Copies of this chain bind each other. A is one copy, B any other.
Amino acid sequence: MSEKNPRTIAEHLLLRLQEHGVHHVFGVPGDYVLRFYQLLSESPLTHIGTTREDTAAFAADGYARSQGMGAIAVTYGVGALSVVNAIAGANAESSPVVVISGAPGVAEQQTDPLIHHRFGPFTFQREIFQRITCATAVLDDPLTACREIDRTLEAARFHSRPVYIELPRDRVDTEGLPVPYEESLDPSSDSAALAEAVAETLAHLQQAQQPVIIAGVEAHRRGLQDALAELVLRAQVPVAATLTGKSVVGERHPAYLGIYEGAMGPEATRRYVESADMLLMLGVTLNDVDTGIYTAKLDPNCVIRASQNEVIIRHHRFAQVTLADFVRELATVTPQAQRAWPDVGTGMNAPGFPEQGRPLRIGRLIGHLNQSMPSDATLVSDTGDCLFAAIELRVHDRTEFLASAFYTTMGFAVPAALGAKIARPERRPVVLVGDGAFQMTGTELATSARLGLNTIVIVFNNAGYSTERYILDGPFNDIGEWRFERFGELCPNVEGFVVHTEEEFEKAWQSALQNQGFPTLINAHLPPDDPSPAMRRLTAHIKERIS
């Protein structure tokens, strides 16, 4: 889109979205946003219609994680309020999704009428989104509208979190004033503090016998994957990832230790990390999931921790040193070391899979997937035991694992896979999802079918909410029977399989890998009492805490 000047508020928004790398907008149309949809459909951007609004938001989240920024367009009230959970999730998970909500016109609002989709004062919708985004704007004033668009999108980029833009329908075609927006949010490091922190870190590194890097979600969201890989190779220091930071480093490299998650993560990884004499924690958030419900045992005397705008070495703190500057500087000045990579194995496997007549069990299923995951796979996991299963799966490339790993909302994976596939068509989403989560948003697979995408969905079907079963069981954890494999009956172009044994799974899996023009769904029946090893460890701990 050319830098047309003057331009309307909607034109400015569409232009800036593209400049931020947004080329697709997800959503469901509605009357307060229809004119914007019309302009969208005439623009270089592509609208991806979804079955619901919340799945549009999950899709935009998956798109944002793969592409840098995502966007949805929804109508007022009924549309916007349907995405509150998904956007709160993007906020908790640091994913920059732009919510564009249509609204009654400024002129309409002035008489305070009882118009449809209204649920309270017209200010309430923005006030709700102020609690789940990092910036909000209502484009009611043509004088400031363009600058407000620039400000919110810049906030989304910098904070890597969602923003909310409300566009009254009588302002869509109003001419705006695109003044250059020059405010930068990027903090700069104090160069002396940076130099000192880096020097001290290098000195520790030189002394360390068993240094380890733990990479977290912030390194992911700040786009530090290259610098991190460079640092790992120069310093020859092995690297673990947190669950929320999973796939920030390529997981098939010998430098990779696996997921560190306290007592919840793989045992070999835990042992190696907790016996380290130097821990370089880069962009790690200390939440309950990443610390294995606070079971992580890391000696503070060995820890150097860098986060968004500070570096803490043991018990002293360098303010005004950014994570990005610190990692990049370290990657540049660290001398090339010569160390051997430790041997902590390459994760689970399943020797002899498929064994004739052997019923499918979660442990060997994960092991087999770990061995046979295609190199172009983007692994997308929903919340539940499949998320704990995914801990053990090594993805080939960086940034190829998507999950709501901290916020842990169910129903994320199928729509997020849609967004990821649209952002990076050369990759193939492999979705792991429980039966409880699939019944929440699984119908969004219809959109992948309509667009002819080669997504593979594996439903871990154990007839209920299995994570909860291990905390506190009751009939409320059971769900009804679904023959998910027949999804293609309702929605053309989905191939379905139901499997109970290793052989049946393998046949379905091989067929899925061959399918290139449409989705495959494998309804994998597992016993209700067959938790993954990680879930056994996790739920035992949660149980302790709530009992």
**Residues of A at under 8 Å CB distance from B?**
28-31, 34-35, 37-38, 40-41, 47, 49, 51-52, 54, 77-78, 81-82, 84-85, 88-89, 91-92, 113-120, 124, 127-128, 131-132, 169, 285-289, 294, 406-411, 436, 439-440, 443, 446-447, 449-450, 465, 467-468, 471-472, 474-484, 486-487, 489-492, 542, 546
Decide: B287 and A117 in contact? CB cutoff 8 A.
no
Decide: B482 and A490 in contact? CB cutoff 8 A.
yes
- Bound-state CA distance A113–B291 (Å) is 12
Decide: A81 and B77 in contact? CB cutoff 8 A.
no
Decide: A114 and B286 in contact? CB cutoff 8 A.
yes
- Bound-state CA distance A289–B120 (Å) is 16
Q: Which 7 A-B pairs have the closest CB atoms?
A: A114-B287, A81-B85, A88-B119, A450-B480, A78-B409, A486-B489, A489-B489
Closest to A481 in B: B492
Closest to A290 in B: B114
- Bound-state CA distance A116–B88 (Å) is 12
Known: A287-B115, A407-B77. A468 touches B546 (CB 8 A): no
- Bound-state CA distance A300–B538 (Å) is 68
Closest to A27 in B: B476
**Listed A/B pairs (8) with beta-carbon separation below 8 Å:** A29-B477, A34-B472, A47-B476, A77-B85, A84-B128, A113-B294, A114-B287, A118-B407
Decide: B35 and A468 in contact? CB cutoff 8 A.
no
Q: How far is the CB of A354 from chain B (nearest CB, A)?
A: 27
Known: A114-B288, A287-B114, A450-B480. A468 touches B29 (CB 8 A): yes
Closest to A52 in B: B440
- Bound-state CA distance A481–B120 (Å) is 36
Q: How far is the CB of A292 from chain B (nearest CB, A)?
A: 12
Interface centre among A31, A132, A477, A490 (most CB of B within 10 A): A490
- Bound-state CA distance A482–B490 (Å) is 5
A118's partner among B41, B54, B84, B92 (CB-CB below 8 A) is B92
Chain B residue contacts of A447, Cβ below 8 A = 480
- Bound-state CA distance A486–B494 (Å) is 14
- Bound-state CA distance A542–B115 (Å) is 12
Decide: B131 and A127 in contact? CB cutoff 8 A.
yes
A89's partner among B29, B119, B124 (CB-CB below 8 A) is B119
Chain B residue contacts of A119, Cβ below 8 A = 88-89, 91-92, 131-132, 407
- Bound-state CA distance A486–B486 (Å) is 9
Closest to A545 in B: B108
Closest to A467 in B: B31
A41's partner among B91, B131, B474, B491 (CB-CB below 8 A) is B474
- Bound-state CA distance A450–B439 (Å) is 14
Closest to A472 in B: B34
Known: A49-B479, A482-B446. A465 touches B29 (CB 8 A): yes
Decide: A476 and B51 in contact? CB cutoff 8 A.
no
Closest to A119 in B: B88
- Bound-state CA distance A119–B84 (Å) is 11
- Bound-state CA distance A465–B117 (Å) is 16
Closest to A55 in B: B440
Decide: A116 and B406 in contact? CB cutoff 8 A.
yes
Chain B residue contacts of A84, Cβ below 8 A = 81-82, 84-85, 128
Q: How far is the CB of A437 from chain B (nearest CB, A)?
A: 10
Decide: A440 and B476 in contact? CB cutoff 8 A.
no
Known: A114-B286, A411-B52, A546-B169. A476 touches B41 (CB 8 A): yes
Decide: B491 and A480 in contact? CB cutoff 8 A.
yes
Decide: A288 and B116 in contact? CB cutoff 8 A.
yes
Decide: B440 and A51 in contact? CB cutoff 8 A.
yes
Q: How far is the CB of A213 from chain B (nearest CB, A)?
A: 21
Decide: A78 and B407 in contact? CB cutoff 8 A.
yes
Q: How far is the CB of A393 from chain B (nearest CB, A)?
A: 20
Q: How far is the CB of A301 from chain B (nearest CB, A)?
A: 23
Closest to A114 in B: B287
Decide: B31 and A468 in contact? CB cutoff 8 A.
yes
Decide: B408 and A49 in contact? CB cutoff 8 A.
no
Q: How far is the CB of A111 from chain B (nearest CB, A)?
A: 10
- Bound-state CA distance A128–B294 (Å) is 29
Chain B residue contacts of A49, Cβ below 8 A = 476, 478-479
Q: How far is the CB of A198 from chain B (nearest CB, A)?
A: 28
Decide: A546 and B35 in contact? CB cutoff 8 A.
yes
Q: How far is the CB of A329 from chain B (nearest CB, A)?
A: 28
- Bound-state CA distance A456–B342 (Å) is 64
Chain B residue contacts of A286, Cβ below 8 A = 114
Chain B residue contacts of A450, Cβ below 8 A = 480-481
